[in-house]
Chains A and B, each alone.
Chain A
Amino acid sequence: MEAVLKTAFPFIVFSAAILAAFQGVLMIVAYTVLAERKVLGWMQGRVGPNRVGPWGVLQPFADLFKFIFKEDLVPDKSTKFVYFLAPLVALGCALLPIVVYPFGPRIADPLGWLVPYVADWPTIGPAVAWIAEQAVNMPLTIARIDIGVLFVLGITSVGVFGIMLAGWSSNSKYSLMGGLRSSAQMISYELAMGASVIGVVMLAGTLDLNGIIEAQIRSPFKWFIIPQFLGFVVFLIAAFAETNRVPFDLPEAETELVAGFHTEYSALKFALFFMAEYVNMFTVSVMCVTLFLGGWYVPGLGKILEPGSIPYALVSHVAFIGKICFFLFLYIWVRGTLPRFRFDQLMNFGWKFLLPLGIANIILTILVVYFLNS
């Protein structure tokens, strides 16, 4: 029995961690939608949703139930298999990067304080002691892999298929145009995004997201936004285009394409696309914070709290989420401020301005790194 439990322990821990991380991210995403409606409302001199619960705080749940109980219409002449596959691909690829998010620093001994309290209890005492021993130096990342940056970029680039397949299978000209536009846009801006990341990777010397944060702590600037400001600007603009948000929301331009690639989707399938879009916003915010703003690192916090202790990890985690929320707010802010690009402007901007800027940033960084090392 004990041996079985000890073998099953890692699976239980990973399942619990994955559940907690996915649930946490999805809750933040749900409230991003509410925040977007509220903030846009205030920016336009309206109140925003305020009927469900006090100040409308239960609105996301009301929306969810509405999506679940709505009639699910499937176009008669659609390609059924691809039509059902598309939202799953979109949301699956949006959720997968969660496993490499660096949620916080390592905790040296997370359960050590609990052991003395339960030491006298018959079975639970030794079990807790064993678990506490396993949990020493616990990382706040589900899968700490060597190639976190490439993993996130790769999975999000596969996410384009969800949108393309949705546009193709719906058998509607608006959907097809939306899908085509979106794939052209994402291919174009992926290059600029990858180019802007290379500078950070060169300075950090690793592709591991936690390793990049540690490299920022070691560097004299603390945050890579200072030596990599050009890369940060390119990354931020490319991130807006990658997530199909204003001012780059050409794939779902209401005035031209009804709703773009998801015109023919209703009920829960539409909700999956909707969630995928907001989870993607969250992902690029995480990347932005991790690569350029020091991730969970708060300058000077190590002097007040002991690094590796539980309060230090908690404050760092809250700082990480706070930085992400700033970028999520930036998305809403830009949506309330800027008009939409024209499609040829979008393509020219991506290929003739953003990509050269990203490559210039790479060359500059190479020169600086070379002369600093020699």
Chain B
Amino acid sequence: MASDILFFIFAGFAIMCAISMVYHKNPLYSAISLVGVFIALSCLYVTLAAPFIAAVQILIYAGAIMVLVVFVIMLLNLDEDRRENRLGYLYAVGGGLGLILLAQTFFIFYAVMRAPQHNVNTDETAGRTISLGQAMYTEYLLPVEIVGVLLLMAIIGGVVMSRRLNQEQIETVVEAELERRQ
């Protein structure tokens, strides 16, 4: 009962923040709304007995990624997006996709109601740090390693792209760019 009420509070907050994120024209307001979504989601994880995921959600998404996003917005001092109706036909595409999403939602509800009832695994310890760690480093070791290599590649890519070029390299890059534009 109490967890139902909490679910509706946090889910409602998440949906409100998500709508406000899409609708605000000021990028900073959108970013703050997205932080609200992440915090509401992490509260939902806590009610689902997954405290580790909740803490990591706050730590990584709200505390690191969104801080970087806000940092870039502040650094570039982005103004409000005032381009009106630049891509008018996209409204039709968006509406169509929205209808498909709605149909999918109804289909899921329908399928769940038709499906035979299973006993849901309500193991309270499943979301604990120790069981997560054991699962990640035994059963799911290969996916974890692959994701690790992927992130490492992204980091190296970032370092390569942001490294300083010496004078000769800059000249070659500029010449190539000038040639391309002619």
Contact = CB atoms under 8 A, between A and B. Distances in A.
A207 B56 CA distance: 13
Contact of A150 (B29, B59, B62, B67): B59
A146 B35 CA distance: 24
B32 interface: yes
B74 interface: yes
B74 A150 contact: no
Contacts of A190: 63-64
Interface in A205-228: 206-207
B71 A151 contact: no
B67 A161 contact: yes
Interface string A145-169: 1110011011101101100110110
A260 B52 CA distance: 35
Given A158-B58, A158-B63, A180-B75, A147 B70 contact: no
B56 A180 contact: no
Contacts, number: 74
A68 interface: no
A82 interface: yes
Interface residues of A, number: 28
Given A146-B51, A167-B74, A207-B129, A187 B32 contact: no
B28 A153 contact: no
- Report which residue of A154, A167, A183 has the largest number of chain B beta carbons within 10 angstroms of its beta carbon: A154
Chain B contact-residue range equals 20 to 34
A140 B59 CA distance: 26
Interface in B29-50: 29, 32, 35, 39
A184 B71 contact: yes
B74 A180 contact: yes
User: Per DSSP, are chain A's interface residues mostly helix, strand or loop, or mixed?
Assistant: helix
Interface string A163-191: 01101100000001001100110110010
Contacts of B68: 187
B32 A82 contact: yes
Max chain A C-beta neighbours (<10 A), residue from B55, B62, B74: B55
A154 B129 contact: no
Contacts of B35: 158, 161
B128 interface: yes
A154 B71 contact: no
A304 to B, nearest CB: 35
A147 B74 contact: no
Nearest to A152: B55
Nearest to A148: B55
Nearest to A191: B64
A266 B35 CA distance: 27
Nearest to B73: A168
B32 A164 contact: no
A167 B71 CA distance: 11
A3 to B, nearest CB: 16
Contacts of B56: 150, 154
A157 B67 contact: yes
A348 B32 CA distance: 30
Contact of B28 (A146, A168, A180): A168
Contact of A146 (B29, B52, B59, B66): B52
Contacts of B66: 161
B50 to A, nearest CB: 10
B76 to A, nearest CB: 11
B55 A150 contact: yes
Interface in A286-302: none
Nearest to B70: A164
Given A147-B55, A176-B74, A190-B64, 12 more contacts: A82-B28, A145-B51, A146-B51, A157-B59, A158-B35, A160-B63, A167-B74, A168-B74, A183-B67, A183-B70, A186-B67, A206-B129
Interface of B: 28-29, 32, 35, 39, 51-52, 55-56, 58-59, 62-64, 66-68, 70-71, 74-75, 128-129
10 contacts: A85-B32, A150-B56, A150-B59, A151-B55, A157-B58, A157-B62, A161-B32, A183-B71, A183-B74, A187-B64
Interface of A: 82, 85, 145-147, 150-151, 153-155, 157-158, 160-161, 164-165, 167-168, 176, 179-180, 183-184, 186-187, 190, 206-207
10 tightest Cβ-Cβ pairs between the two chains A and B: A157-B63, A150-B55, A154-B58, A154-B59, A147-B55, A147-B51, A183-B71, A168-B74, A154-B55, A158-B63
